[in-house]
């Protein structure tokens, strides 16, 4: 496994801006949030996952930190996503806690898999299963699973039809010592979800029962 580091794109200036923005926000953040963000850096992820900081939304909670990631093989992105850690020291009724994790995960699919009527239920079970597989306690999960098809015409008609799955979800990580959730483990579970959606084989014998998507038809070059 590799540490949670790396990059999603070659936009160095954008990464630097996001890092500086996050650094400034951390200076005024409460200790539990700073500890939760620092813990993200200790997460252990599969080497196919490249992660980088990205500007966090500022209207969802008083404090936020965001990461973006891609599952990469060679020069091809097999899946990508975004994970946002939110914190409201006063608590949030809908969250039933002071922290919330929000995610978007997406990948391209084979047409046959996209047509499976059970696909949305299976994809949602991958999210909850990834969290449970890491032994994590969480509450108030909610989200959507969307599949879409694209057909090309005119100057793009030579491109084959494409299908995509998209998971948007949020959940409340249970807080531990000092009111800080185990964000490193939640990031690792999110990485498991990314790899599963990307169609990668299980990482080890303990994951042998996991059912993954087939490799998508034609990964788009980065």
- HEC assignment per residue over 80-144: EEEEEEEEEEEEECCCCEEEEEEEEEEEEECHHHHCCCCHHHHHHHHHHHHHHHCCCCEEEEEEE
Report yes or no on 167 lying in a domain: yes
pLDDT category, 211, cuts 50, 70, 90? very low
Write down the pLDDT at residue 102.
97
Write down the pLDDT at residue 163.
82
Q: Which domain holds residue 56?
A: 2-201
Q: What is the mean pLDDT of residues 83-109?
A: 93
Report the range of poorest mean pLDDT among 9-13, 99-103, 174-178: 9-13
Q: Looking at per-residue confidence, does 16 or 153 come out higher?
A: 153
Maximum average pLDDT range among 95-104, 144-153, 175-184 = 95-104
Report yes or no on 220 lying in a domain: no
Report yes or no on 215 lying in a domain: no
User: What global pTM score does this model have?
Assistant: 0.80
pLDDT beyond 50 at 218: no
Q: How far apart are CA 155 and CA 19, in angstroms?
A: 39
Write down the pLDDT at residue 109.
80
pLDDT category, 202, cuts 50, 70, 90? confident
Report yes or no on 211 lying in a domain: no
pLDDT beyond 80 at 24: no
Write down the pLDDT at residue 220.
44
H-helix segments, the chain: 12-27, 31-40, 111-114, 119-133, 183-198
Write down the pLDDT at residue 148.
84
CA atoms within 13 A on the CB side of 38: 10
Report yes or no on 222 lying in a domain: no
The C-alpha angle 39, 42, 43, rounded to 5 degrees, equals 100
Write down the pLDDT at residue 208.
37
pLDDT beyond 60 at 11: no
pLDDT beyond 70 at 222: no
Report yes or no on 221 lying in a domain: no
Q: What is the mean pLDDT of residues 179-199?
A: 94
Write down the pLDDT at residue 214.
43
Q: What is the mean pLDDT of residues 28-40?
A: 91
Q: Looking at per-residue confidence, does 102 or 75 come out higher?
A: 102
- Counting residues of the chain whose pLDDT is more than 70, the rounded percentage is 78
Report yes or no on 216 lying in a domain: no
Report yes or no on 33 lying in a domain: yes
Q: Looking at per-residue confidence, does 6 or 143 come out higher?
A: 143
Total number of domains in the chain: 1
- Counting residues of the chain whose pLDDT is more than 90, the rounded percentage is 52
């Amino acid at each position: 496994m590799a540490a949670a580091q790396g990059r999603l794109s070659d936009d160095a200036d954008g990464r630097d801006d996001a890092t500086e923005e996050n650094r400034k926000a951390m200076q005024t953040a409460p200790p539990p949030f700073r500890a939760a963000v620092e813990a993200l850096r200790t997460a252990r992820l599969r080497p196919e996952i490249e992660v980088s900081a990205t500007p966090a939304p500022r209207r969802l909670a008083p404090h936020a930190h965001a990461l973006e990631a891609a599952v990469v093989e060679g020069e091809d992105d097999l899946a990508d996503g975004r994970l946002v850690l939110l914190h409201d020291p006063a608590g949030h009724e809908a969250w039933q806690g002071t922290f919330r994790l929000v995610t978007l995960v997406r990948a391209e699919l084979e047409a046959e898999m996209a047509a499976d009527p059970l696909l949305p239920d299976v994809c949602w079970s991958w999210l909850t299963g990834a969290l449970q597989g890491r032994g994590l306690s969480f509450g108030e999960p909610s989200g959507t699973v969307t599949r879409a098809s694209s057909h090309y015409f005119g100057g793009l008609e030579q491109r084959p039809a494409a299908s995509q799955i998209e998971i948007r979800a949020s959940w409340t990580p249970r807080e531990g010592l000092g009111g800080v959730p185990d964000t490193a483990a939640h990031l690792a579970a999110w990485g498991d979800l990314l790899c599963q959606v990307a169609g990668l084989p299980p990482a080890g014998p303990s994951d042998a029962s996991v059912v993954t998507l087939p490799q998508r038809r034609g990964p788009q070059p980065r």
